[in-house]
Structure 1
């Protein structure tokens, strides 16, 4: 079975209605795995798979469980390779919140990403809190999880600004990856740009 076929099977599995209501669907799982690939600390597969599903899914048998878990691990590795390459990562959704942000795939992706951050929140901000916070801002805005907070509700009202912010997500992911995964490159990254 090709990787594309495995991903299709994974998508069908994750998007099914019989998973726990807090389980991540395929798009959210992609965001979640992207965050795990960037996270400065390696998280055990057992822990992140448990968190992704909220409670163990009803697998047909062990073979199905193994296949789904293997594909999730392969997708995470695939995302990690994309992040490590020089190209912007491709998201499985449009970079647009549309007319109804709560129903958009991008919102789901951003929520999934933030779930990945929440698994090790302190680790994310340990080394470069200010830079990480700044880079995460568009994803936090896209997730809608923080709209109750005054500074976020102001941004959320400015649709053009939100569109501009979410459009930057692929390049932000690369910057976050370099910041969190390539300590040797940090000083060069953080030098102010000279015009």
Structure 2
């Protein structure tokens, strides 16, 4: 089976209605795996797979469980390769929150990403809290998880600012990846401004 076929089977599995309410769908799982690929500490596979599903899914067989978990692990490796390459990573959704952000795939992707950050929140902010916070801001805004906080609700009301921030997400992912995994190659985005 090709990787594309495996991904479409994974997508069908994650987007099915019979998973736990808190399980991540395919787009959110992609955001989650992206955060795990960036995180400077490797989270054990069992831990992140169990957290992704919230509770164990009802697999039809052991073979299906192995296939789904194996594809998730491959997808995470694929995302890590994209992050390490010179190209901006590709998101599985439009960089657009649309007219109803709560229904947009991008919101789901950003929520999934933040779920991945929350698994090891201390590690993310351990060494470069200001830089990491600045780079995460567009994803935090996109997730809608922080809208209760005044600074986030102000941004959410400014459509142009929101769109501008969201368009930066792919390059910010690369910047975060380099910050954690190749600090000596700090991207221009983070060089001190004079």
Deviations 1:47-105 (A, max 9, x none): 00000000000000100000000000000000000000000000000000000000000
User: SS of 2:40's equivalent?
Assistant: coil
Q: Which residue in the other structure is 2:179 paired with?
A: 179
Indicate conservation of the 8 Å contact 2:125/2:132, yes or no.
yes
Displacement of 1:192 in angstroms is 2.2
Structure 2: 5+ residue stretches without partners: none
Matched, 1:48 2:59: no
SS at the partner of 2:79?
helix
1:6-85 equivalences in 2 (<5 Å): 6-85=6-85
Query: 1:181 deviation in Å?
Result: 1.1
State the TM-score, normalizing by the size of structure 1: 0.97
User: How many pairs does the alignment contain?
Assistant: 194
Gaps of at least 5 residues in structure 1 are: none
1:91 counterpart SS class: coil
CA shift, 1:188, in A, is 7.6
Do residues 112 (structure 1) and 120 (structure 2) align?
no
Q: Distance in 2 between matches of 1:122 and 1:133?
A: 12
Cα-Cα RMSD: 1.3
CA distance in 1, matches of 2:188, 2:154: 33
Whole-angstrom CA distance in 2 between matches of 1:165 and 1:152:
12
Moved over 2 A (4+): 183-194
For residues 148-172 of structure 1, the C-alpha deviation after alignment (integer angstroms, 9 at most, x for no partner) is 0011000000011001100110000
1:33 CA displacement: 0.1
Query: How many Å apart are 1:185 and its aligned residue?
Result: 2.6
Is 2:127 the counterpart of 1:127?
yes
1:167 aligns with 2:162: no
